[in-house]
Chains A and B, each alone.
Chain A
Amino acid sequence: MPGLGTSFGRGGATTNLQDLSNADCILIEGSNMAEAHPVGFQWVMEAKRRGATVIHVDPRFTRTSAVADQHVPIRAGSDIAFLGALVNHVLSNDLDFREYVVAYTNAANVIDEDFQDTEELEGLFSGYDPEAGQYDPITWRYRPPAEMTDQERQRAEELEDEERRDQEGSRHQESHQAARSESHGSGGAPVSWKGLRDETLQHPSCVFQILKRHYARYTPEMVRDVCGIEPEQFRRVADALTRNSGRERTTAFCYAVGWTQHSVGAQMIRTASILQLLLGNIGRPGGGIMALRGHASIQGSTDIPTLFNILPGYLPMPNAAHHQSLDAWVADDEGKAGFWGNVRSYAVSLLKSYWGDAATADNDFCFDYLPRVTGDHSTYTTVKAMIEGRCKGYFVVGENPAVGSSNGKMQRLGMANLDWLVVRDLQLIESATFWKDGPEIETGELVTERIGTEVFFLPAASHVEKAGSFTQTQRMLQWRDQAVAPPGDCQSELQFYFDLGRRIRARLAGSTDERDRPLLDLAWDYPLDAEGGPEPESVLREINGTGPDGAALSAYTELRADGSTACGCWIYCGVYADEANQARRRKPHWEQDQVAAEWGWVWPANRRILYNRASAAPDGTPWSERKRYVWWDAEARRWTGADVPDFVPDRAPDFVPEEGATGPDAIGGRDPFVMQTDGKAWLFAPLGLADGPMPTHYEPAESPVRNPLYGQQSNPTRKQVRSPANPLNPSWSEVYPYVFTTYRLTEHHTAGGMSRTLPYLTELQPEPFCEVSPRLAAERGLEHLGWATIVTSRTAIEARVIVTDRLRSLRLGDRFVEQIGLPYHWGGNGITTGDSPNDLVNLTLDPNVYIQDKVGTCDIRPGRRPRGPALPAYVADYRRRAGIPEAGEET
């Protein structure tokens, strides 16, 4: 998400599935779309039928590759090298869409003179603190404009002060703090000024020139040595992309967790963003970046987050070090150019929807009721806290971490050390029964009678037993009606949490302890439905927001900072416009045009393609007839077209903001990226990312390959979860010589709770397996359909072997790299059972989003794994041979 968020201003997919059919070329990388999103893939096939070129870049040949015009096998985790070389190809051959790049991106911005690139510092950018393992991004900033406004001058002085204090020893404020990265889901990072620009792109310190130098060594030959892709294959891809971009043609990118789940995941998405911007493909029909989310409401659960570092609408959770008042909380962003500059209205409206009448101007609208973060409180860090006995109660809600999370053993050890655990699901998943039949019970590492965790399993309502909305992959909210009542004790989360909240409040009633005020003052009254839970539409209406008269609002531009409006999630404002559930609109597609604006509701403001002002040239006319989408109607003096314009509706293309303008008033007529604090898309991120302003190739934390580009082997800011249960395989180890990568099958769903329990699906995919190349099979004596044991320093698992050309032995220079493919859905419960591949995965996290790297190294041997206590002994023997110190031996 921050990959998209820092580039464009919002973290969501920039386009929609149907619009893929308008593409002239589609590059799918980090996704096996035909198998993981089969029904969405029909739009890729539609494009192909209309003559589009489809390219699939993936370690495996899959059903996506089978229908693509070109399949490019790649070494897992090397995507930045490949995409960076495409950037280099575009820049060194002058193939960029220059007019678009100059007008709509920060290519012309001149960067601070102290900035130093990875090319100068062996793989590090300037500002790296080796002790903390993090960057201070001050030297990445825009050079100030030649003539500064008063506000900018004041900011410049503040920055100089900060720098002076740094030099005096006190550490720079954590403006670069990783947890901030994710809050760019709908609002860019706050730059201090629009900055000095050289629109000839000749200034040696302008972004365009910096980018050119940064990627100069990312050549087709380098791609061959890093990714295992032949120069001829590379050139075919480069030609297809550049031939199908420009005024008349557009190329779309699709990705999924094949990009997000890496220690450089956010930067992989950044590289694609840079490439798409250089080619002029963002905000245009048939263009964009389609982020393919993996669950029914992954997008929704970040928009209205159950995430530690953000509140609804990507408002940051307050950080104890910086945010001790409402003013301080919004200070970084308030008044910046664009709609994010109105952050105070969004924040106050949220506080009003949380605490209602108790939130007043006199008490900072109850700002102090918000708990503060002090760093990383993400799920893997929390599991470590459970193991160490610091976190004692745990709700697991529609999730199965014992199978679905990486390093499953850590998950189970954590849950075995709680006081209490609540699991809410449809079936008795592995996370509910680990104390009874988990893998560690078999090995003797855990003993049921010694596990003190009190476990409550509460049965959940299914999707047809409750009404509510999912936000799917293209930011669309779609409402489900309730078909039947939940059976037995089953309840929706809505009902359960509402009830739990009522009972907690009843227990604290009358308390005079200040600690209990946020619970007692909470706005927790909802009209009830037949099951005794809150009426779901009343919650959606609260999310939408209401005005001073109590009526539903229709747009976030109506939100106010004076407490007269309430809104549970500002980016969803409008979903209940006109007192109607807009997510429940179901006008058939045959009664609408392709944009289908009356099916469901899309945030923001029902805009289907984001940044669509960029579908017109700077003067407001369409780039071409063929790619006409949204344009300026000079007569009506309004933006018009097929979609809701993602722009100030009446802002003329030649509008120049007044000096000192703030918020939406500071958006120029040629600034299509209205959530960015400078109105431009970012080729270079002066702020907002923990691991550098430009993507740089680093090897995964476990790799058989030395980084050929830099002395710096892996992401220098990666977060290693340090725990005895999370040892790391040394890179270049002969003990763990192979690469493994995990993936999904069409017939199963993530950790299997919703699929391994279904007869139809288990019949279709009855058993776990691993895929290996014929060369690897010969090297290790693996038999097709026989058993294999796969070993890392965490554990060993077994699976049936499929020997197949679908996995190619990759030639890197004078050596081969072998990759093992592992579908990850299995665990011990359900109709079909097997070892969990996620137990093999180590916890090395992306520093921006704390997502794990799904790629690692391993060994593979024929035959089944050892049973019982022999298993940990077998794994320990591998660790000893690889020279990995045992717990307690580490210094």
Chain B
Amino acid sequence: MADPRTFLGWPLLRQVTGADRLGRGHAARSERSDRLTPRTASADRVVDSVCPFCAVGCAQKVFVKDGEVIQIEGNPASPISRGRLCPKGSASKQLVTSPTRVTKVRYRRPYATDWEDLDRDTAIDMIADRVVETRRKYWEWEADGPDGRRRTRRTLGIASLGGATLDNEENYLMKKLYTAMGAIQIENQARI
């Protein structure tokens, strides 16, 4: 390649005089672009993950620098996805680093017109209180059935919806806790 520091190294000149007539290969390179490196190269760590959108389960590589996610790419080793990601999977770095992501607990009092701040620890305590109270108030030992009163040991006061983008381990603990609470109206996207 002609010395890029002289005019002989100008990309246009190299394009019209060299083999790369379409200017899509080495002719397009410059001193500056030669110095560029992908941001993945600067990562401290690369962590194996799986795309959280549809159910194909494309393997992802998460590039981390200084404790921040700097890029997410497809993992070529996967026998299912072979490194590919669709537009959603390719955008998943934005899913994680979105500036509109909410990272503080928000609380709305009954009849209030706006959110207020609430400490997370207090919020979980309040939720635990609500669960205990609603469970007690709407507890049902028996219900009428086709052959008379039958034991039900449950509450119909508490419901839950969610799970299809959650981990198996999370669904497992949720169902375990809800079942022990006696809550049965436990549902997820699979039915929707």
Q: Fill in one digit per residue for A482-493: 1 if any B CB lies within 8 Å of its CB, else 0.
A: 111101111111
Q: Is A804 in contact with chain B by the CB < 8 A criterion? A: no
B180 engages A519 (CB within 8 Å): yes
Q: Is B109 in contact with chain A by the CB < 8 A criterion? A: yes
B64 engages A300 (CB within 8 Å): no
Q: Report B-chain residues with C-beta under 8 Å of the C-beta of A542.
A: 172
Question: Quick one: given A295-B54, A504-B181, are A304 and B157 in contact (CB under 8 Å)?
Answer: no
A297 engages B191 (CB within 8 Å): no
Question: Quick one: given A307-B186, A489-B103, A501-B177, are A472 and B55 in contact (CB under 8 Å)?
Answer: yes
Q: Report A-chain residues with C-beta under 8 Å of the C-beta of B106.
A: 428, 432, 455-457
Q: Fill in one digit per residue for B135-174: 1 if any A CB lies within 8 Å of its CB, else 0.
A: 0111101010111001111111111111111111111111
A395 engages B161 (CB within 8 Å): yes
Q: Is A49 in contact with chain B by the CB < 8 A criterion? A: no
B79 engages A372 (CB within 8 Å): no
From A452, A488, A518, give the contact of B110 (CB < 8 A).
A452
Find the A residue at minimum CB distance from B148: A321
Smallest CB separation, A73 vs chain B (Å): 25
Q: Report A-chain residues with C-beta under 8 Å of the C-beta of B91.
A: 755, 758, 760-761
A459-B115 Cα distance, complex, nearest whole Å: 14
B52 engages A320 (CB within 8 Å): no
Smallest CB separation, A833 vs chain B (Å): 13
B interface list, Cβ under 8 A from A? 45, 47-59, 62, 64, 67-69, 72, 76-82, 84-92, 94-96, 98, 100-111, 113-115, 118, 120, 123-132, 134, 136-139, 141, 143, 145-147, 150-192
A39 engages B95 (CB within 8 Å): no
Question: Quick one: given A39-B89, A40-B56, are A419 and B134 in contact (CB under 8 Å)?
Answer: yes
Beyond A473-B57, A758-B91, 4 extra complex contacts between A and B, CB < 8 Å: A469-B167, A470-B50, A480-B48, A754-B52
Smallest CB separation, B88 vs chain A (Å): 6
B174 engages A397 (CB within 8 Å): yes
Q: Report B-chain residues with C-beta under 8 Å of the C-beta of A724.
A: none
Find the A residue at minimum CB distance from B58: A39
Q: Report A-chain residues with C-beta under 8 Å of the C-beta of B132.
A: 504, 507-508
Q: Report B-chain residues with C-beta under 8 Å of the C-beta of A451.
A: 110-111
From B105, B107, B164, B181, give the contact of A296 (CB < 8 A).
B164
A712-B146 Cα distance, complex, nearest whole Å: 29
Q: Report A-chain residues with C-beta under 8 Å of the C-beta of B118.
A: 456
Question: Quick one: given A295-B189, A354-B179, A508-B132, are A373 and B184 in contact (CB under 8 Å)?
Answer: yes
Q: Fill in one digit per residue for A722-754: 1 if any B CB lies within 8 Å of its CB, else 0.
A: 000000000000000000000000111110001
Find the A residue at minimum CB distance from B138: A392
Q: Report A-chain residues with C-beta under 8 Å of the C-beta of B192.
A: 379, 401, 404-406, 851-852
A587-B79 Cα distance, complex, nearest whole Å: 9
**Residue of A308, A483, A540, A587 most packed against chain B (CB within 10 A):** A483
Question: Quick one: given A391-B185, A500-B177, are A296 and B52 in contact (CB under 8 Å)?
Answer: yes
A299 engages B55 (CB within 8 Å): yes
A296-B172 Cα distance, complex, nearest whole Å: 16
**B interface: dominant SS:** mixed
B54 engages A393 (CB within 8 Å): no
Q: For chain A residues 402-430, which have a beta carbon within 8 Å of chain B?
A: 404-406, 419-420, 422, 424-428
A484 engages B166 (CB within 8 Å): no
Q: Report B-chain residues with C-beta under 8 Å of the C-beta of A754.
A: 52-53, 88, 95, 165
Interface residues on A, range: 35 or more
Question: Quick one: given A18-B80, A522-B177, are A382 and B169 in contact (CB under 8 Å)?
Answer: no
Q: Is A435 in contact with chain B by the CB < 8 A criterion? A: yes
Q: Report A-chain residues with C-beta under 8 Å of the C-beta of B183.
A: 371
A590-B147 Cα distance, complex, nearest whole Å: 61
B174 engages A493 (CB within 8 Å): yes
Find the A residue at minimum CB distance from B64: A483
A395 engages B162 (CB within 8 Å): yes
Q: Is A259 in contact with chain B by the CB < 8 A criterion? A: no
A469 engages B168 (CB within 8 Å): yes
Smallest CB separation, B24 vs chain A (Å): 25
Which 6 interchain pairs have the tightest Cβ spacing? A472-B57, A468-B167, A488-B103, A397-B162, A371-B154, A589-B79
B165 engages A295 (CB within 8 Å): yes
Q: Report B-chain residues with C-beta under 8 Å of the C-beta of A452.
A: 110-111
Q: Report A-chain residues with C-beta under 8 Å of the C-beta of B157.
A: 390-393
From A296, A304, A397, A425, give the contact of B55 (CB < 8 A).
A296
Q: Report A-chain residues with C-beta under 8 Å of the C-beta of B187.
A: 306-308, 378-379, 382
Q: Is A139 in contact with chain B by the CB < 8 A criterion? A: no
A457-B102 Cα distance, complex, nearest whole Å: 9
Q: Is A815 in contact with chain B by the CB < 8 A criterion? A: no
Smallest CB separation, B26 vs chain A (Å): 30
Q: For chain A residues 598-612, which have a beta carbon within 8 Å of chain B?
A: 599
Q: List 12 A-B contacts (CB under 8 A).
A: A42-B82, A296-B52, A320-B150, A394-B161, A452-B110, A465-B96, A481-B47, A487-B103, A489-B104, A499-B124, A754-B95, A760-B90
Q: Report B-chain residues with C-beta under 8 Å of the C-beta of A522.
A: 176-177, 180
A839-B180 Cα distance, complex, nearest whole Å: 35
Q: Report B-chain residues with C-beta under 8 Å of the C-beta of A382.
A: 159, 185, 187
From A294, A456, A474, give the contact of B127 (CB < 8 A).
A456
Smallest CB separation, B156 vs chain A (Å): 6
Q: Is A113 in contact with chain B by the CB < 8 A criterion? A: no
B57 engages A484 (CB within 8 Å): no
A382-B110 Cα distance, complex, nearest whole Å: 22
Question: Quick one: given A308-B187, A449-B113, A483-B69, are A372 and B151 in contact (CB under 8 Å)?
Answer: yes
B169 engages A317 (CB within 8 Å): no
Q: Fill in one digit per residue for A298-322: 1 if any B CB lies within 8 Å of its CB, else 0.
A: 1111111111100110000100110
B79 engages A504 (CB within 8 Å): no
A420 engages B45 (CB within 8 Å): no
A427 engages B186 (CB within 8 Å): no
Q: Report B-chain residues with C-beta under 8 Å of the C-beta of A493.
A: 166-167, 170, 173-174
Smallest CB separation, B148 vs chain A (Å): 10
B189 engages A301 (CB within 8 Å): yes
Q: Report A-chain residues with C-beta under 8 Å of the C-beta of B47.
A: 464, 481-483
B104 engages A459 (CB within 8 Å): yes
Q: Report A-chain residues with C-beta under 8 Å of the C-beta of B82.
A: 42, 589
Q: Report A-chain residues with C-beta under 8 Å of the C-beta of B92.
A: 463
Find the A residue at minimum CB distance from B125: A503
Q: Report B-chain residues with C-beta under 8 Å of the C-beta of A40.
A: 56, 80
Q: Report B-chain residues with C-beta under 8 Å of the C-beta of A369.
A: 153, 179-180
B113 engages A368 (CB within 8 Å): no
Smallest CB separation, B165 vs chain A (Å): 5
Q: Report B-chain residues with C-beta under 8 Å of the C-beta of A311.
A: 175, 179
Q: Report B-chain residues with C-beta under 8 Å of the C-beta of A300.
A: 167-168, 171
Q: Is A171 in contact with chain B by the CB < 8 A criterion? A: yes
B176 engages A464 (CB within 8 Å): no
Smallest CB separation, A689 vs chain B (Å): 17
A481 engages B49 (CB within 8 Å): yes
Q: Is A54 in contact with chain B by the CB < 8 A criterion? A: no
Q: Is A385 in contact with chain B by the CB < 8 A criterion? A: yes
Q: Report B-chain residues with C-beta under 8 Å of the C-beta of A392.
A: 134, 137-138, 157-158
Question: Quick one: given A39-B58, A39-B85, A500-B124, are A494 and B110 in contact (CB under 8 Å)?
Answer: no
B88 engages A456 (CB within 8 Å): no
A295 engages B164 (CB within 8 Å): yes
Q: Report A-chain residues with C-beta under 8 Å of the C-beta of B153.
A: 368-372, 515
Q: Is A202 in contact with chain B by the CB < 8 A criterion? A: no
A453-B120 Cα distance, complex, nearest whole Å: 19
A38-B114 Cα distance, complex, nearest whole Å: 41
A420-B159 Cα distance, complex, nearest whole Å: 11
Q: Report A-chain residues with C-beta under 8 Å of the C-beta of B115.
A: 457
B151 engages A473 (CB within 8 Å): no
Q: Report B-chain residues with C-beta under 8 Å of the C-beta of A292.
A: 55
Q: Report B-chain residues with C-beta under 8 Å of the C-beta of A518.
A: 179-182
Q: Is A134 in contact with chain B by the CB < 8 A criterion? A: no
A464-B93 Cα distance, complex, nearest whole Å: 10
A758-B94 Cα distance, complex, nearest whole Å: 6
Q: Report A-chain residues with C-beta under 8 Å of the C-beta of B104.
A: 459, 488-489
Q: Report A-chain residues with C-beta under 8 Å of the C-beta of B78.
A: 586, 589, 599
